[in-house]
Amino acid sequence: SGGENPEALEETANAQPEQSQTGLAYETAKDAEIDFKALKAENPDIFAWLHVPGTNIDCPVLQSEEADDYYETHNAYGKEDPKGAVYTELANLKDMCDFNTVLHGKGTGKEDVFAELYQFGDKDFFQKNHTIYLYLEDNLLTYEVFAAYEREDSSLIRTYDFTYAEGCEAFLQDLYYTKTMGKNIREGWEGINAYNFLITLTVSNETTPGKQYVVVAALVGDAAGKIDRIVE
């Protein structure tokens, strides 16, 4: 069936024959290709496609010029929808060259887009599932999950100034040294610093008011060799 004449966003990822049309069928640029032309025809705010193997997270990523939290209450088609969509704020560049790009999503109901993020709280799941793929129009980025934990429900973008090395280091200090029950940290990433490129998937935990759950991953693959920035 593939991604011909897509009638839904999920069908725009070209799948091999007999694959279900639920988004990305494979995890490499060779096997899977996101049809960004079709996606942008649906909604020009779409700039990336997120795929988290081991979960059902397989969806477009959007950024609104209208308001940072526009996709908190609108779906990927731009229609009003309490389930929202996965989005970044205007403070983050869409080229993924920031120190930390924060991706927001809902996770209260079972069908919410980030509902399965909480699985990273399970040590076995965390150990077995450590890769995240982010497709851009001209690139495929691979990230390694190295931390998953609960933190106060405050804006990461506003708490830390990621445009300066000091803000990046402050985030990493809090990540490693703030004591939190159930925090999972992968060994071997202790040397991470302001020169790395991170993504943080975040969801407000409505069962624990005032808390949010975050899954943090570091860039390990840049297929087109385009990710770079100057650190001040």
- pLDDT > 60? residue 29: no
- pLDDT > 60? residue 20: no
pTM (2 d.p.): 0.86
For residue 232, give the H/E element and its range: none
pLDDT tens per residue, range 184-217:
999 999 999 999 999 999 998 767 788 999 999 9
Structure tokens at 149: 């934990």
Give the span between the Cα atoms of 94 and 122, in whole angstroms.
31
Distances (CA, A) of 94 to 88, 91, 137, 142, 147: 8, 9, 11, 16, 23
| Ramachandran angles phi, psi of 81, nearest 5° | -165, 120
- pLDDT > 90? residue 11: no
Out of 25-29, 57-61, 93-97, 129-133, pick the least confident. Answer: 25-29
User: Average of pLDDT values for 159-164?
Assistant: 95
**Average pLDDT of the residues of the chain:** 86
Q: What is the pLDDT of residue 215?
A: 98
Residue ranges of alpha helices (H) inside the chain are 36-42, 123-128, 156-159, 165-177
Q: What is the residue-wise DSSP string for 214-232?
A: EEEEEEEEETTS-------
User: Average of pLDDT values for 113-140?
Assistant: 95
Structure tokens at 61: 């990523």
Do residues 84 and 113 make contact, with C-beta atoms less than 8 angstroms apart? yes
- pLDDT > 60? residue 84: yes
R_g (Cα) of the chain, nearest Å: 17
- pLDDT > 90? residue 32: no
pLDDT tens per residue, range 131-159:
999 999 999 999 999 999 999 999 999 99
Q: What sign does the dihedral 163-76-45-54 (CA atoms) show? A: positive
Q: What is the pLDDT of residue 148?
A: 97
Q: Strands 198-205 and 211-222, how do they pair?
A: antiparallel
Selected residue with higher pLDDT from 198 and 6: 198
User: Average of pLDDT values for 41-53?
Assistant: 93
